[in-house]
Amino acid sequence: MSKNYKSALAMLVSVFFFWGFVAAGNTILIPVFKKSLDLQQWQAQLIEFCFYVAYAVGALAYYLIGRVRGKDILNTIGYKNGLIYGLLISAIGAFLFLPAASFQSFPLMLIGLFIVGLGFSLQQVAANPLAISLGSKETGSSRLSMAGGVNNVGTTIAPILLSYAIFGSTGTAENTVLSLESVRLPYLILCAAFIIVAVAIKFSKIPDQLADDDGTSDNERLRIADYPSLWLGMIGIFVYVGVEVSTAANLSEYLKIEAGISEDNVAPYISLFWGSLMIGRWAASVGAFNFTKAKENIL
């Protein structure tokens, strides 16, 4: 892998970190909003629903735009710009948490999460093929697994950091107004981080187009019915993400009922859940590095 590819890949995987950080942070928001706004468990689950349904809505919208125009949207705006626009969309969603927390508006927070998810959808459409193309085809899947490992770093540390920001060092969730107001600062920081990374990507060496373009026309790529492996992959992602997210989303309630663990003490257990998944991701990514066969076997 050339130095240009290494620097571009390093910048690219920072975006994967954001996806994991926000996704796992939602699992802390669920018990906070449930207690602060007196929500039922099914209502609190709308946090994850609105966030992840935005992925489907966004991806479908980008696909339909491409079908209508007869040209892949990323081949029009460029993959780098796709990342930048996606980050800026997510920044708008994160910013909405400020007025939402001030007015204690659950619907506005759900709208904010939906917009963050829309931005993530565009980012993923651009970032996943870029991660595969930044280097040899033989190690493309390993690079994607490595990026997924960075994603899980974000999922592992997010519950701890967000829980501390919301509950503070006292470890109490008694003051519900304070808990909800405390959401403002972390999401303001997140909004600023989205913008900073968008600017950094603008001046980075991430290419506008895929490095390994095989010359396939956009019309051929957009005929998804011709690729059964794509449909099977979509089903696989749907099932595994569904299991992963639904488990994490209900973990705090399960621990509260079965082990008597309160909302302000659940973060380490959620981090342990995501950290366990991180081990598998990193184990699958060793092929992205130039390790000897012996080191690969050890890892």
d(CA 74, CA 20): 23
d(CA 29, CA 14): 23
Is 24 within 8 Å of 156 (Cβ atoms)? Answer: yes
d(CA 37, CA 34): 6
d(CA 159, CA 137): 35
d(CA 104, CA 100): 6
Candidates 239, 265, 35; CA nearest to 164 is 265
**pLDDT for res 295:** 58
- Tell me the average pLDDT of the chain: 81
Candidates 188, 166, 180; CA nearest to 266 is 166
Residues 6+ apart with CB under 8 A from 138: none
Question: Is residue 215 packed enough to be buried (19+ CB in 10 Å), middle (13-18) or exposed (0-12)?
Answer: exposed
**pLDDT for res 175:** 45
d(CA 272, CA 270): 5
Farthest-apart Cα atoms in the chain, separation: 60
Give the helix/strand (H/E) hosting 178: helix 176-181
Asked if pLDDT for residue 237 goes beyond 60, the answer is yes
* pLDDT, tens only, 14-56: 889 989 899 888 888 888 888 888 888 888 889 999 999 999 9
Which one is predicted more confidently, 91 or 241? 91
Homologous superfamily, domain 3-209+218-288: MFS general substrate transporter like domains (1.20.1250.20)
Percent of the chain residues topping a pLDDT of 70: 83
* pLDDT, tens only, 138-196: 777 778 877 877 888 888 898 888 888 877 644 444 444 445 777 888 899 999 999 99
d(CA 285, CA 46): 33
Q: What is the DSSP letter of 135?
A: S
* Domain residue extents for the chain: 3-209+218-288
Is 27 within 8 Å of 251 (Cβ atoms)? Answer: yes
Candidates 89, 12, 25, 78; CA nearest to 55 is 89
